[in-house]
Structures are given as C-alpha cells and as structure tokens.
Amino acid sequence: MSPNILRIAVPTPLARTFDYLAPSDAAALVPGLRVSVDFAGRRLTGVIDALASDSACPPEALKPVLAVLDDTPLLPPALLELARWAARYYQHPLGEVYAAMLPGALRHGRAAQDCITPGWRISAAGAQALAGGQLRASRQLTLLQTLAQAAGALDRATLRALHADYSAPLNALLKRGWVEEVAAAGPLRAVQAGPETNAEQQAAIDAVAAADGFGAFLLDGVTGSGKTEVYLRLIEATLARGRQALVLVPEIGLTPQLLARFRVRLSGRIAVLHSRLAAGERADDWLAAAEGRAEVVIGTRSAVFAPLARPGLIVVDEEHDASYKQQEGWRYSARDLAVVRARLERVPVLLGSATPSLETLANAQRGRYGWLKLTRRATGARAPQMELIDLRRQLLDEGLSRPLLQRVRTHLDAGGQVMLFLNRRGFAPALFCHACGWLAECPHCAARLTVHQRRRQLICHHCGHTQRLPHACPQCGAEELLGLGHGTERLEQALVRHFPDVGIARIDRDSTQRKGSLERLLDAVQCGDKRLLLGTQMLAKGHHFPAVTLVGIVDADQGLHSVDFRAAERLAQLVVQVAGRAGRAERPGSVVIQTHHPEHPLFATLLHADYARLAEALLAERRAAQLPPFAHQALLRAEDADAEAAQALLDQAAALADALAADGAVQCLGPVPAPMERRGGRWRMQLLFEAAQRSALHTLLERLLPEFTALPAARRVRWSLDVDPLDLY
Ligand SMILES: Nc1ncnc2c1ncn2[C@@H]1O[C@H](COP(=O)(O)OP(=O)(O)OP(=O)(O)O)[C@@H](O)[C@H]1O
Ligand SMILES: [Zn+2]
C-alpha cells in the first residue's frame, strides 16, 4: 500500500505529531514540506515529519491536509534531523521547533516565491549620467557609484550594509531611470586582500582546513589576536570549494562595521539574518541561503537554523555570549546546536572567543574540541595595563572616584579616547528618600524601579511597569529624594560637568533604540567627534576603536557577590572583553577597575595573570562544587497569579520525578521561589534537576514530561522547561 498518511508536526504545546490524509493529486510528498491543516477548527501551518501507510486513528476519522505549500522542502534533511534531535534534547514539541526554525513570513504559510526580492543595477542611462557628471555630490551619487562598481545587481541587504539610508535615494534613481530592477542579485566586484597571516593564525587555519567532515574547534584567541581574520580565511577557502559558510554572531555583534569588513573581503553574496529585519527581508535572505544563491550567511541566534544548500563551515563568534541562549519559549542554545548541526552536516565548526565559556573550555580540555590558541595581538599592540582603584573611603561623584577622573583627564589631554563601562543598566539608579528611607519599588515585582531622568519616569525592567517620577516621598512627604547607585544617564551628566568641552557618546539600550542611532554614535566615535564613550554591555565586545587608550570599569562589584554561580565567570569575561577595547593600535592601553573589594581573589588573578588562569581556577571551583560543566541541569519554572497554584504544580512534578528517578542519579531541588519571586503580577516558583551524568538527566526528562504535561494543573498554570539554563532566574 502506498503511504497516504502524513505525520504532521503542528505548532501546538502537544509533544507529538498528528496524522492527516495526503491529497490524492499531490506529486512527490517528502518530509520537510509545509502543509496547511485544519487543527481543532483552526487553520495552521505544519511540517510533514514523516510519511506512513497506517495510523492509530481509524481512516474515517482522518482529515485531509488542506494544502501542500511547497514543491520542495524548505528544510533540508539535516535540519529535519536537527529539529528531531533538539525536540528530544530540550523536550520541546516538534511542531514548535519546526516553527521556530522558519522565518516569520514562512512560518505563517506564505508562498516562498513571494518572499524573493530582486536586486538593482545601474542602467545605461545611469552610466551615462555618471560619466557626464550630471549628479552633484549627494546620497544619490554615492549610491549610483556603488552600483556602478558592482559586478552585477545588488540586493537589499548589500545596499543596506553599504548605505544605511539607501531607500530614498534608490527610489529617486529608479524614477530617473538611472537604476533598474532585475531578478537576481550578484556579488561585489572589488574584493580586498587581507593581511598576511601570522604563524598562530596559519596553524589554526590549517587545523580546521584539515578536518575531514565534522570537527569541532575552539579558537581561543586573546582580544585583537586576529580571530576574525582566521574566520575570513576559512570562509574564503570554503567558498573556493563551492561551499557555503554560516557565521553566528552575538545579538549586538552584527554591526555595520563587521558586515562591511566581510563584504570587502568576500566575493560571494552575503545573506544577513537578524531578528530586527522585516519579515519579508528576512525570508528573502533565508531563501537565498536555502537555494545556495548566498554563499555566506551571517546572523544572530536563530540563524543557526538557516538552511544551506551546500554547507561547508560553521563559525560561532564570541561563543561565550549569553545572547546565543534563547531565554523564552523554546530555550535552546544556538552555540550548542551549531555543534550538533555541524556533526549532522559533516562540516567543521569553529567556536571563537577571547573569553571562552567554561563549558567550551571543559570540552577542549577533554579533547572533544580541537584547541587552537592565538596568544598575541595581531597588530603587535601590547596587552593593556590593569589597575584597581579601591573605592572604600573615597569621595564619589555619581560613582566616579577622583583617581578615575584624574586618569580620564590625563588620557583625554594626551589626545586619546576614553571608554567608561557600567556593569548593567537597570541595576541603578533606584530612588530613595533621604529622610525616611523609602525605596521606590515595583508594585508587581520584587524589584526596585529605575530612575530615567530624561523621561522623568520610574521604570521596572522586569515587567515594564512605568510611572511618573515623584517630586516628594510618598511615605513621609519630604522632598529629599535621592538616586541610589548610578545609571548611564546620571554618569553622563557627571561627565558633562567634569569635561564640558569633550564630546560624549552614551551607548546603551535607551540611546540606541531608534534605527540607525547606534551606527551614528559609533561613527561619531570612529571619526573622533566624541572622545568619551560611556556604555553598558553593548560596548564590551566586537568594536574596534583604535584611539581608545583608557577603559574604566565603574562598578565591578556586582559580579562578586551574586547568588548566581556564573556571576564570577561573567565578570571575568566582561573585564577581559572590555579591557580588550583598550590600546588596540599603536598607543598602549590602560584599564582601571573601581571596586570596594580589591582583595578579592578574582581580581588578583585577572591582574597578575590572564583569563586562561582565571578560567582554570573557576573550573576547579565548579568541579569541587559539582556544578556545570561538571554537572547537568534543567530548570522547571512555573508562574501564576496564585502563588499556591504554581507551588502545587511543581510539588506534583517533584513527586513524579522522585518516583521516576528513584536511583538517586538525578537530584530534584525544590520547589523554591525564583530569585525574582514576583514578576508582572505573577508568583514564580522553580524546580531544579541536577545530575552528574547527562544521560541520567535526559532519561528522567523523557519520562517525566509526558506525565507532567498530562496533569490538569499543567494546562492551567504557565510553565516552562529550561534545559542547560544559563541563569537560574
Ligand atoms: N596577521 C595579521 N597581521 C596584521 N594585522 C592583522 C593580522 N590579523 C589581524 N590583523 C588586524 O588586527 C586587528 C584585530 O584583528 P581581529 O579584529 O580579527 O581580532 P579579533 O581577535 O577578532 O578581535 P576581538 O576578539 O578583540 O574582537 C584588525 O585590525 C586586523 O585587521
Ligand atoms: Zn515590575
């Protein structure tokens, strides 16, 4: 009998596929095709997971699929396999995994062809106009010149990377008939050669190039050691073999600077996948990758699912970055899935960082990953000098000590640029009353509200609650409200007072919300208009500011005394990454760290040795405490407006787990209130599973989840499972 039953993965919370009848007129049906189905009265887009000739349902109960949406599968076999692997590993419904892999437009059933957008090239009339000097210096002129230099037509993503504001001038040029639209886009013609590689770089390149099929490598290279150059060489070699390369970068690492660097070096079409792109644009680049029209795919977290017609190499830059972990819905790690995918696709994967995660270091130490080291800065610049400033008994101005201000002055006077770094936005400033001690707290969360001077508002960064900044204390009426701690805005005001004639660029989530604002700020820094930079995590990595000679970490203490066992690792990564921004060119750099705890061993190691030594010490601590990467965790969270309901659900989960894992191979800790106990009006509880052996943990989860999901309470209370949680919040 021919297989006329389709097992369809539908995006629902139910962790199983559903059987439908194949349409009689359908041509070749294969797994990976999208179909439209009627699911409990709703029209949903699902993916064919398998074909079968029998079903547990009686034939008359089966519904036919409403439509088959693709001629060829959007997801190639390797990605289907990855999806099935991931659904098991993360215990997440396969239908939702498939849905997460597809870009928005395709997830909702749009026809693939509708998403292909054309390219643009200069017309004969345009070439004449250019030669005849008919255009004065303008954005139209520069755009036309770019198109004149291109080998073929350029697509939207390329235009965007070269000219942030391309769309108005492009429309004007189209109207004048100087530019024409064509079906397919081609690559840039002018490709620059890179610097000659040094011995360490070459050794790393050779090692990866020698991988026959799958191979995982850690590129452990100090900041400025030329890791990007290694990626570029390996990508060039991949393209030369007619293969495609996939490059993952952190959320904030996908800068115009980075794209421009790739575009001038690589001759292929570069597809850019980023969650901030419009759905249509994203689908276009996604399809270009799937059909092999794009040779290189660069993207953030979800780009790990970009289909590749001819995969050849996967690169994960800044592999330690927290943004690779999806923090809601399906909580996957793109870094970990990149390695799994590379194995399925039989291609090498390269994880690069100056501050590798302890997980990856442990894999390198165990010999699972090849360990490639770049120990020197490629430009020959010296490693920066580090210095601690003891904040105890210091007079502070918005958190700035006098010694730090003096050093800022010295470096500015010497013509350098200075970068000041705040550990975390939202940490401060809180508002409190000097008279009675009242503290502004969120009415919905166990969290302090944050003062936003410019908007004159108090904001909760956990639930988004917003209220006007009060003039007087609501408790005692005194008008002595003070900011506690320091946010980037307060710091900026203090800096304006101290350095009135120096241009200041504040880079944080607020100042870069509008499209193009980050680019403008970075430009102003690059060209020297702004010489004092002030920012949060956004400044910490990826950027290359040659003129920065001093980096100050204003408040390092937050990482020292946290309940989170990863806080020390994060602080160390931050300090090293931030320090890596200093003195990248001819001038030597200095780093000063302000702290109330200069005696803390973490600083001693950082100051006198390096990240490698510190990571070694941290790994030893983790081993002694039996914490990841020497143990494996999964966190079951529940939240509800009714605290009892959340607790009761997790109590039931704990009872089930105890019955299933009676051999003690998995520890079940809790339920306990989450560190942030209340958020958005809901009480949050959590249950932690911990095991020395990953297999024991996964065996338990595989048995537990079906039973847990079937609990009536699990339908009423909001819950989620986080396998390999990054933070226990
Ligand atoms: N072999 C080389 N010879 C000379 N200069 C080089 C070489 N390799 C890289 N560079 C230059 O060194 C600088 C730093 O290189 P790159 O940005 O690749 O380092 P990185 O390790 O990726 O840095 P980070 O991790 O700090 O962002 C760049 O200006 C790059 O052009
Ligand atoms: Zn809140």
Most ligand 1 atoms within 8 A of CB, residue of 379, 545, 574 to mutate = 379
Which residues, in sequence order, are bridge partners of residue 506?
Answer: 534
Residues 358 and 569 sit within 8 Å (Cβ to Cβ):
yes
Residues 121 and 170 sit within 8 Å (Cβ to Cβ):
no
Confidence label for 583 from pLDDT (cuts 50, 70 and 90): low
pLDDT of the residue at 584: 54
What's the mean pLDDT when you consider all of the chain? 84
Residue 272 and residue 370 share a domain = yes
Cis peptide before 671 (omega within 30 of 0): yes
Sign of the torsion formed by the C-alpha atoms of 117, 121, 125 and 129: positive
CATH code for the domain of 670: 3.30.70.360
Which residues, in sequence order, are bridge partners of residue 431?
Answer: 483
Q: Could you tell me the distance, in angstroms and rounded to a whole number, from the CA of residue 440 to the centre of ligand 2?
A: 11
pLDDT digits (tens, 9 = 90+) for 6-64: 999 998 887 788 999 888 776 688 899 989 999 988 999 999 999 988 888 887 788 98
**678 phi/psi in degrees, rounded to 5:** -135, 135
pLDDT digits (tens, 9 = 90+) for 172-191: 998 898 988 765 544 444 46
Q: Is residue 139 part of a domain?
A: yes
Residue 213 and residue 146 share a domain = no
Domain that holds residue 641: 632-723
Distances (CA, A) of 2 to 22, 70, 336, 554, 585: 11, 21, 39, 69, 68
Ligand 1 neighbourhood includes 378 CB (under 6 angstroms): yes
pLDDT of the residue at 497: 93
Q: Would you say residue 115 has pLDDT above 50?
A: no
Q: Could you tell me the distance, in angstroms and rounded to a whole number, from the CA of residue 581 to the centre of ligand 1?
A: 12
Among the bound ligands, the one closest to the CA of 576: 1
Cα separation of 411 and 179, whole Å? 49
Confidence label for 168 from pLDDT (cuts 50, 70 and 90): confident
| 189-203, 219-233, 254-268, 278-292: which is most confident | 219-233
Q: Could you tell me the distance, in angstroms and rounded to a whole number, from the CA of residue 165 to the centre of ligand 1?
A: 29
Who's near 670: CB < 8 A, 6+ residues apart? 650, 654, 685, 686, 687, 688
Of 10-14, 139-143, 259-263, 643-647, the least confident: 259-263
Q: Which residue in 116, 271, 263, 114 sits closest to 181, CA to CA?
A: 116
pLDDT digits (tens, 9 = 90+) for 349-360: 999 999 999 999
Q: Would you say residue 711 has pLDDT above 90?
A: yes
- CB-count exposure of residue 395 (10 Å: 0-12, 13-18, 19+): exposed
Ligand 1 neighbourhood includes 227 CB (under 6 angstroms): yes
Residue 549 and residue 676 share a domain = no
Residue 647 and residue 686 share a domain = yes
Looking at the CA of residue 581, tell me the nearest atom of ligand 1: 26
pLDDT of the residue at 424: 58
pLDDT of the residue at 334: 97
pLDDT of the residue at 513: 65
H or E element in which residue 8 lies: strand 5-9
Ligand 1 neighbourhood includes 417 CB (under 6 angstroms): no
Cis peptide before 118 (omega within 30 of 0): no
- Using DSSP, state whether 397 is helix, strand or coil: strand
Domain termination residue (choose one: 374, 396, 419) = 374
pLDDT digits (tens, 9 = 90+) for 223-250: 889 999 999 999 999 999 999 999 999 8
Amino acid at 200: E
Take atom 25 of ligand 1 and give the residue whose Cα is closest.
Answer: 223
User: Does 516 or 375 have the greater pLDDT score?
Assistant: 375
Confidence label for 85 from pLDDT (cuts 50, 70 and 90): very high
H or E element in which residue 296 lies: strand 296-299
Q: Could you tell me the distance, in angstroms and rounded to a whole number, from the CA of residue 729 to the centre of ligand 2?
A: 15
Confidence label for 558 from pLDDT (cuts 50, 70 and 90): low
Q: Could you tell me the distance, in angstroms and rounded to a whole number, from the CA of residue 436 to the centre of ligand 2?
A: 23
Please state, as a whole number, how many other Cβ atoms lie within 10 Å of the Cβ of residue 35: 26
Pairing of strands 179-182, 417-421: unpaired
CATH code for the domain of 282: 3.40.50.300
- CB-count exposure of residue 438 (10 Å: 0-12, 13-18, 19+): middle
Ligand 1 neighbourhood includes 319 CB (under 6 angstroms): no
Of 373-377, 578-582, 653-657, 689-693, the least confident: 578-582
Q: In this structure, what token pair is assigned to residue 115? A: 């998403």
Ligand 1 neighbourhood includes 195 CB (under 6 angstroms): yes
Mean pLDDT of 408-424: 86
Q: Is residue 32 part of a domain?
A: yes
H or E element in which residue 650 lies: helix 643-660
Which residues, in sequence order, are bridge partners of residue 550?
Answer: 418, 590
Q: Is the ipTM of this complex over 0.90?
A: yes
Mean pLDDT of 305-326: 94
Give the residue numbers of the binding site: 433, 436, 442, 445, 460, 463, 473, 476
Q: Would you say residue 156 has pLDDT above 90?
A: no
Q: Is residue 573 part of a domain?
A: yes
pLDDT of the residue at 444: 78
Q: Is residue 627 part of a domain?
A: no
Pairing of strands 67-68, 34-39: antiparallel
Which residue pairs from 286-294 have beta carbons closer than 8 angstroms and sit at least 24 positions apart in sequence?
286/103, 286/106, 286/115, 287/112, 287/115, 287/116, 288/155, 289/244, 290/74, 290/76, 292/244, 293/184, 293/185, 293/269, 294/244, 294/268, 294/269, 294/270
Most ligand 1 atoms within 8 A of CB, residue of 227, 229, 375 to mutate = 229
Report the Cα–Cα distance between both ends of the chain, in Å, rounded. Answer: 53
Among the bound ligands, the one closest to the CA of 228: 1
Confidence label for 276 from pLDDT (cuts 50, 70 and 90): low
Confidence label for 158 from pLDDT (cuts 50, 70 and 90): confident
User: Does 56 or 301 have the greater pLDDT score?
Assistant: 301
pLDDT of the residue at 439: 80
Residue 393 and residue 349 share a domain = no
Q: Which residue in 404, 425, 395, 556 sits closest to 487, CA to CA?
A: 425
Domain termination residue (choose one: 617, 649, 668) = 617
What DSSP string runs through 513-575?
A: -STTHHHHHHHHHHTTS--EEEESGGGSSS---TTEEEEEES--GGGTS-SSTTHHHHHHHHH
Residue 29 and residue 11 share a domain = yes
pLDDT of the residue at 298: 93
Take atom 19 of ligand 1 and give the residue whose Cα is closest.
Answer: 226
The pTM of this model reads 0.80
Q: Could you tell me the distance, in angstroms and rounded to a whole number, from the CA of residue 266 to the centre of ligand 1?
A: 16
Percent of the chain with pLDDT over 70: 85
pLDDT digits (tens, 9 = 90+) for 134-154: 888 788 898 898 888 776 677
Domain count for the chain:
5
Distances (CA, A) of 8 to 21, 93, 272, 590: 10, 12, 30, 59
Q: Could you tell me the distance, in angstroms and rounded to a whole number, from the CA of residue 463 to the centre of ligand 2?
A: 4
Give the residue numbers of the binding site for Zn(2+): 433, 436, 442, 445, 460, 463, 473, 476
What DSSP string runs through 318-381?
A: TTT-GGGB--SSS--BHHHHHHHHHHHHT-EEEEEESS--HHHHHHHHTTSSEEEEE-S-TT-P
Q: Would you say residue 636 has pLDDT above 70?
A: yes
Q: Would you say residue 303 has pLDDT above 90?
A: yes
Among the bound ligands, the one closest to the CA of 253: 1
Residue 409 and residue 309 share a domain = no
Q: Could you tell me the distance, in angstroms and rounded to a whole number, from the CA of residue 226 to the centre of ligand 1?
A: 3
Distances (CA, A) of 715 to 331, 708, 718: 19, 10, 8
pLDDT of the residue at 187: 47
What DSSP string runs through 217-259?
A: EEEEE-TTS-HHHHHHHHHHHHHHTT-EEEEE--TTT--HHHH
Confidence label for 427 from pLDDT (cuts 50, 70 and 90): very low
Q: Could you tell me the distance, in angstroms and rounded to a whole number, from the CA of residue 538 to the centre of ligand 1?
A: 20
Name the residues around ion ligand 2, CB cutoff 5 A: 442, 444-445, 460, 462-463, 465
pLDDT of the residue at 188: 46
Residue 226 and residue 276 share a domain = yes
Q: Is residue 316 part of a domain?
A: yes
pLDDT digits (tens, 9 = 90+) for 440-492: 888 876 667 877 776 788 877 666 678 998 988 888 888 877 665 556 777 88
Distances (CA, A) of 55 to 52, 77, 715: 8, 23, 27
Cα separation of 186 and 208, whole Å? 29
- Helices first, then strands: H and E counts in the chain: 22, 31
Of 151-160, 361-370, 563-572, the least confident: 151-160
Confidence label for 426 from pLDDT (cuts 50, 70 and 90): very low
Distances (CA, A) of 277 to 103, 148, 157, 273: 11, 26, 10, 7
Q: In this structure, what token pair is assigned to residue 502? A: 């120096």
Residue 509 and residue 397 share a domain = yes
Q: Is residue 263 part of a domain?
A: yes
pLDDT of the residue at 544: 62
Q: Is residue 469 part of a domain?
A: no
Specify the residue for token string 């070459």: 202
Residue 228 and residue 138 share a domain = no
Q: Which residue in 505, 508, 503, 501 sits closest to 486, CA to CA?
A: 508
Looking at the CA of residue 229, tell me the nearest atom of ligand 1: 18
Ligand 1 neighbourhood includes 542 CB (under 6 angstroms): yes
Residues 27 and 73 sit within 8 Å (Cβ to Cβ):
no
Residue 665 and residue 684 share a domain = yes
Structure-derived torsion over alpha carbons of residues 176, 182, 186, 191, reported in degrees to the nearest 10:
-10
Residue 354 and residue 252 share a domain = yes
177: left (phi over 0), alpha (psi -120 to 50) or beta: left
What DSSP string runs through 472-493?
A: S-TTT--S-EEEES--HHHHHH
Specify the residue for token string 């931030």: 578
Ligand 1 neighbourhood includes 73 CB (under 6 angstroms): no
Please state, as a whole number, how many other Cβ atoms lie within 10 Å of the Cβ of residue 95: 27
Q: Is residue 490 part of a domain?
A: yes
Q: In this structure, what token pair is assigned to residue 421? A: 């770094």
- CB-count exposure of residue 335 (10 Å: 0-12, 13-18, 19+): buried
Of 407-421, 523-537, 637-651, the least confident: 523-537
Cα separation of 464 and 679, whole Å? 10
Q: Which residue in 510, 511, 448 sits closest to 483, CA to CA?
A: 448
Looking at the CA of residue 541, tell me the nearest atom of ligand 1: 27
Q: Would you say residue 1 has pLDDT above 60?
A: no
User: Does 603 or 363 have the greater pLDDT score?
Assistant: 363
Which residues, in sequence order, are bridge partners of residue 333?
Answer: 325
Domain termination residue (choose one: 351, 374, 397) = 374
CATH code for the domain of 29: 3.40.1440.60
Who's near 447: CB < 8 A, 6+ residues apart? 441, 460, 461, 462, 676, 679
